[in-house]
Copies of this chain bind each other. A is one copy, B any other.
Amino acid sequence: MAENDDIQHHDDLDSHLREVQHLLARHKLVEDLVHRQDMPKHDLVESLVHKQHINELTHKLDSLHSADVAHILEALPVSERLFVWDLVKAERDGEILLEVSDAVRESLIESMDPASLRAAAEQLDADELADLAPDLPHEVMEAVYQGLDPEEREQLRAAMSYPEDSVGALMDFEMVTVREDVTLEVVLRYLRRFDELPDHTNQLFVVDRDEHLRGVLPINRLLINDPDIEVGEIMLTDTLTLEPSDEAETAAQAFERYDLVSAPVVDYHRKLVGRVTVASVVDFIREETENELLSQAGLKEGEDIFAPVWDSVKNRWAWLAANLVTAFIASRVIGAFEGSIEKLVALAALMPIVAGIGGNSGNQTITMIVRGIAMGHVQDDALPRLLKKEMGVALINGIVWGGLLGVLAWILYGSPKLGAVMSAAMTLNLLVAAFIGVMAPMIRNRLGQDPAVGSSVIITAVTDSGGFFIFLGLATIFLM
């Protein structure tokens, strides 16, 4: 795990990457790598120079924290990335594989032979191994599993049995436990026998003979109290506990609200099975919000920015297809009014405004509601109130913007009736957008679906087809 010794001053956060890039570029190591087969006749001097440069780079990598090496690997194009990866000490492979993003991890694992993979995996704790397992070839996992002792096997099985977004997937097994009938003096002496305490040990877990959680002893309490006091006297019993099947998001909210550093995980007999630390919670929050940002734009997952074109096409395919279908439907709505457009071609120029403003406004509404649901501020019974509010906002926007655009249409095309139709259509489409913007996420939430996923496709589909239909329909009725 992270050793503070390795950490440099914060100024170096970005400079590590630049330095490695500099080392790579200055000596044209990359070109050498790429073209090695093409120019096999290095003379001795050249190859010595190269050797020295490689040594320099290796040395630099060795001095870096695993998380920094991971960051550098993520920021390098594939060929340079694999070159650097080869230079990393084998015993750090496992730790670094844990730190890199999923997409980059794949590219690194592909480049390794089964023996190195196995060696890398064997350096990891059971909970870390569980994170890595889905990306490892089956034979490698099988071999690693055979090499574990029974307790670790059990932990690995447990960690792998929980879904990705559960507390079980976040937890680790590095708990320090004590009994409640010993004195703090005994605890202090017990701790001195450790070579190192697990990271984020801000509390000791107080358990009985059968590993049932009796309470927790915050290190701070251990430090400020008299050594003669017994653990049971000062331990906290009414503390937050998690269960492996709890949602990770619940745990994250609890850590955030109560400013926790670690929390015990118990099974339903209150037997201590693991702990969650703020480090894994921070990683979870980052990953989760990152995914949310990506999915808003219809990206299935984070892309390795240097991934092959084809991987990117696959990642973005589904959303584009869904949007094309809705665009095609909207196009057929327009097609149904071709007669009206032929008579009054101004309609063709004005209709995208009606559809566009509806989509934008609807996206604002749906984002508000989705955020409110995610933060637990929106209950089912808030529906009428939210509808009323969002319809109110839509009405004001309709009157202001619809009015303005109506006047512009009137001026441009000299027809007050066209201006009136424009205003009315914009207002109506804004009301539709507000209605769907509230209802869609509320209904999906009620049905137990994630209200965020696909929300922008839904709202665009409705406001495009709806906007064209309302505008062209009104125009056909009142202007033809």
List chain A positions with a Cβ less than 8 A from chain B. 1-2, 4-5, 7-10, 13-14, 17, 21, 65, 67-68, 71, 74-75, 77, 188, 191-192, 194-197, 199-202, 216, 218-220, 223-226, 236, 238-243, 246, 250-251, 253-259, 261, 277-279, 281-283, 285-286, 289-290, 292-294, 296-299, 302-303, 305-307, 309-310, 312-313, 316, 319-321, 323-324, 327-328, 330-332, 334-335, 338, 341-342, 345-353, 355-357, 360-361, 363-364, 366-368, 371-372, 375-379, 382, 385-386, 389-390, 392-393, 396-397, 401, 404-405, 408, 412, 460, 464, 468
Instruction: Pull 5 A–B residue pairs with CB atoms less than 8 Å apart, ordered by A.
Output: A4-B216, A10-B243, A14-B376, A77-B382, A256-B282
Contacts of A298 in B (CB 8 A): 360, 363-364
A interface majority secondary structure = helix
Structural contact, B279 and A259, CB atoms closer than 8 A? yes
Which 10 pairs between the two chains have the least Cβ-Cβ distance? A297-B367, A289-B289, A67-B257, A348-B348, A259-B279, A309-B392, A334-B349, A197-B220, A327-B356, A335-B349
Structural contact, A348 and B334, CB atoms closer than 8 A? yes
Bound: A192/B224 CA distance, A: 4
Structural contact, B219 and A223, CB atoms closer than 8 A? yes
Contacts of A331 in B (CB 8 A): 349-350, 352-353
B5, B14, B223, B342: the one within 8 Å of A197 (CB): B223
Given contacts A278-B278, A367-B293, A393-B312, contact A246 B10 (CB under 8 A): yes
Bound: A478/B129 CA distance, A: 61
Given contacts A282-B282, A305-B382, contact A313 B197 (CB under 8 A): no
Bound: A120/B8 CA distance, A: 40
Given contacts A71-B376, A219-B223, A302-B371, contact A282 B292 (CB under 8 A): no
